[in-house]
Amino acid sequence: MFVARVTMTTTQRCDGFTRRNALQLGLGGMLGSGFVNSLRAMGESQKAGGPKQKATSCILIWMDGGPTHFETFDPKPDAPMEYRGEFSEIETSVPGVLYSEHMTKLAASLNDYAMIRSIRHDQGNHGAGNHYMMTGAPPRIPVGCGAFVSFHPSMGSVVARELGRDNGLPAYFSMPQMSRSGGPNFLGAKYAPFVVGDDPNRDRFKVRDVALPRELSETRFDSRTDLRARVDRMVRIQDEAAGDPTLAFDEYYRQGYDLVTSPEAQKAFDIQQESDETRLRYGRNSFGQRCLLARRLVEAGVPFVTVYDGGWDHHSDIFGTLRKRLPDWDNSVATLIQDLKERGLLDSTLVVALGEFGRTPKISTLSGQSTPGRDHWANAMSVLMAGGGTPGGTVVGATDRKGFSAVDRVLSPENFVSTVYYKLGIDPDKVVYSPEGRPAHLVSDPTPIRELI
């Protein structure tokens, strides 16, 4: 039996929640279970008259912690200093639209993507905000900041179920970990993400669970698989709704075998095939190389890839931290969009970048902190959307002069998630059923953002 290894990360938010905490909560199997996670899902036919599929895959850049809209895509140059912050603003390729000074490449390429400035909700803590933006469903009960919650399937799991193919590759990846609400809920564990914890920026990057051990030849591997089938005489209950755990085990084992022996998987993960020029273009850092690997995965036919990018919870030292971080982040995301465009993949690949909420308009200094920051703020946030037929140069909505709230074309997380589904040819009003037969709409308000369709 294979044992998946988990690469620990230590990115931490204000709630003190780390990936290690998730493992201690008994979620290690979901977060780091390698090839036994959701490797395959057969898509169902679209409803007659449903959304016309434009994109076939989605790359979600999840900015965990809640990225500031002021210091990125929605600066407020006319606001008082205690609101606008230390950064100046720059012109973008769209006349009259300003970005913060460190977003130079994305500012210059705004004609290639859209910016949403008017999404807001009422879940101002990490657990609830994460769930709302990842699923399009608000939590059913009050959720604490450090909670790891799942009341509804995530976008990645839904897309894996609807668009997954039997090609030996997982339908849903997350790197280097899974967001706390990025799981499948009642859809079942086979639609959980395959987590790649290894760092593709390392010279000898190799996904541990996508290669046979050197001491085990393929012939010997096949014989061990045959032996297991002969020895295993467990009786199966042929009804998944009955909850027979051996059915899931059989599925994971078979899918794990498919992945380990898949030429497509070996090729997709071989990032060393990329030229030095391309790797430098994305940025020789962990985030940049994960963006590059995400592009390789969608090229190989993977319908959903999450690039988890932690560390956006800037209660203190927001300006010092972002001076160092934003130039690399800006470069990697702009390069991903441009590279997809150059390869003819942008029409078929949706790229979105967001977090759980924005940051407070007024700069604050928490007790015990000597440097300024911004706190949680769900009344305003910025979301980047590219590809899948998204009209470039479009800016949807606006916030007020001090960045307190969305005031023009106010939108909800439901509108955002419905837009993602609509572009992927999935009806956001579709009803799915739990194993107990309980119905649920994918999104309660299935209205997509019309400017982006």
Q: How far is CA 284 from CA 100, 287, 323, 328, in A?
A: 24, 8, 18, 9
What are residue 404's phi and psi, to 5 degrees? -70, -40
Q: What's the rounded Cα separation, in Å, for the pair 130 and 245?
A: 29
Sign of CA dihedral 360, 384, 332, 37: positive
> What is the model's pLDDT at position 105?
98
> What is the model's pLDDT at position 167?
79
pTM: 0.83
What are residue 194's phi and psi, to 5 degrees? -80, 120
> What interhelical angle do 413-423 and 155-163 show, nearest 10?
20
Q: How far is CA 360 from CA 133, 318, 364, 391, in A?
A: 18, 12, 8, 30
Q: What's the rounded Cα separation, in Å, for the pair 58 and 40?
A: 16
Q: What's the rounded Cα separation, in Å, for the pair 73 and 398?
A: 11
- Whether 52 contacts 431, CB under 8 Å: no
Closest CA to 200 of 283, 256, 281, 262: 283
Cα 261–Cα 265–Cα 267 angle in degrees, nearest 5: 115
Helices (H) and strands (E) in the chain, counts: 13, 16
* DSSP code, position 86: S
Strands (E), 344-442: 349-354, 358-359, 376-377, 383-386, 395-396, 398-399, 406-408, 431-433, 439-441
Q: What's the rounded Cα separation, in Å, for the pair 255 and 444?
A: 33
Closest CA to 380 of 69, 80, 49, 150: 69
Specify the 3-state DSSP secondary structure of 285. coil
Strands (E), 181-296: 194-195
C-alpha radius of gyration, the chain, whole number: 22
> What is the model's pLDDT at position 253?
56
Q: What's the rounded Cα separation, in Å, for the pair 119 and 352?
A: 14
Going by C-beta distance under 8 Å and a sequence separation of 6 or more, which residues neighbour residue 430?
47, 441, 442
> What is the model's pLDDT at position 290?
98
CATH number of 19-452: 3.40.720
Residue 89 β-bridge partners: 100
Q: What's the rounded Cα separation, in Å, for the pair 59 and 303?
A: 8
Q: What is the pLDDT along the chain (453 residues), one digit of tens a residue?
A: 333 333 334 456 676 655 444 433 333 333 333 333 333 323 333 344 578 889 999 999 999 999 999 999 999 999 999 999 999 999 999 999 999 999 999 999 999 999 999 999 999 999 999 999 999 999 876 565 655 667 899 999 999 999 998 777 899 999 999 998 999 999 998 899 999 999 999 987 877 655 544 544 445 545 555 545 555 554 544 444 444 555 555 555 555 566 666 777 788 899 999 999 999 999 999 999 999 999 999 999 999 999 999 999 999 999 999 999 999 999 999 999 999 999 999 999 999 999 999 999 999 876 556 789 999 999 999 999 999 999 999 999 999 999 999 999 999 999 999 999 999 999 999 999 988 899 999 999 999 999 999
> What is the model's pLDDT at position 19?
45
Beta strands at 304-309 and 172-175: parallel, antiparallel or unpaired: parallel
